[in-house]
Amino acid sequence: MAAKDIQSAALSKVNTSVVHAIGGTKVKETKKLFKWTIENYSAWQDRGHEKDYMTSPTFSTGANDESKWFAQLCEKGYIKQYIGPLVLKDAETTILCEITEMEIVNISEQAQIMHRNAIRGKLSENLGTLLNNEKFSDVTLVASGLEVRAHKSILAARSEVFAAMFEHEMEENKLNRVVIKDIDHNVLKEMLKFVYTGTAPNLDRMSLDLLAAANKYALEDLKAMCADAMSTRLSVKTAAETLISADVYDADQLKAHTIAYIKNHIADVMEMQDWQDMTKTHSYLVGDVLRAFAKQ
């Protein structure tokens, strides 16, 4: 059975949809050519010597290779029979020796992840440079009266909302200008940084505003990042505000997490002014919390 058939047969018995660890092996093959010139070879061949072999100078196969090699001509009778007739007396004899080195390198899961992250990091860096360079930009975003230049293709690729805006004969597409009235300029810049690079360095201090922006432009990954940040900072003081935000901006997991937190700290949360205000402005959320108690 061929190696390919064996591999296929083995894989057919394995559930490859669930992989718990990964690894890889690379086989590197390097060919090197060693040239050995022997002067007056026939004199050595014809005369008797204690040694029945001749050793070449040592050599390495690379500039930084610690391995040293040498070649040997041995069994003079064998050499005389097969090489001797081809050598002229007092002439040089040149021997070419091709060496094939094979190196097997195992690549761990961690190393592969680090390599992929390095590639992503470089891509993120390059796209970040593009955001900061207006040279090839083709659309202007305006927030808080301040302008930011951007690129339609990148915005459309990352956001279905921007894609729909630029695909149709909307005013923003005709004028190449998008005025955003409900997002602060700094929040817009942070959102664009995520769109271009996948990162949001100021996420922790503007997670609520970024959650609103991410929901507006259907940036689900950014929404998830904001929800995680808000979950880690959840407290008695922020519980009501977080619950309202999670509900308004359709962050379902954040909402469920916040309700669970409120259940465990209900007495303290109810003492907060934000909770008391919420019972008036978003009374249905109180019902959501009560239903969570009823499921116990």
Tens digit of each residue's pLDDT (9 = 90 or more) over 22-36: 667 878 788 888 888
CB 93 within 8 A of CB 37: yes
Res. 11: pLDDT tops 60: no
CB 96 within 8 A of CB 34: yes
Write the single-letter amino acid at 217.
Answer: Y
Tens digit of each residue's pLDDT (9 = 90 or more) over 43-75: 766 665 556 678 888 887 765 566 777 887 765
Tens digit of each residue's pLDDT (9 = 90 or more) over 230-287: 999 999 999 999 999 999 999 999 999 999 999 999 999 999 999 999 999 999 999 9
What topology is assigned to 109-199+209-217 in CATH?
A: Potassium Channel Kv1.1; Chain A (3.30.710)
Q: How far apart are CA 204 and CA 191, in angstroms?
A: 13
CATH number among 1.10.10.10, 3.30.365.10, 3.30.70.580, 1.25.40.420, domain 234-296: 1.25.40.420
Q: Domain extents for the chain? A: 26-106, 109-199+209-217, 234-296
Q: How far apart are CA 272 and CA 177, in angstroms?
A: 43
Backbone angles phi and psi of 74, in degrees to 5: -135, 175
The DSSP line for 3-35 is HHHHHHHHHHTS-TT--S---EEEEEEEEEEEE
Write the single-letter amino acid at 145.
Answer: G
Q: How far apart are CA 174 and CA 62, in angstroms?
A: 61
Label residues 122-155 b or e (16+ Cβ within 10 Å = b): eebeebeebbeeeeebebbbebeeeebbbbbebb
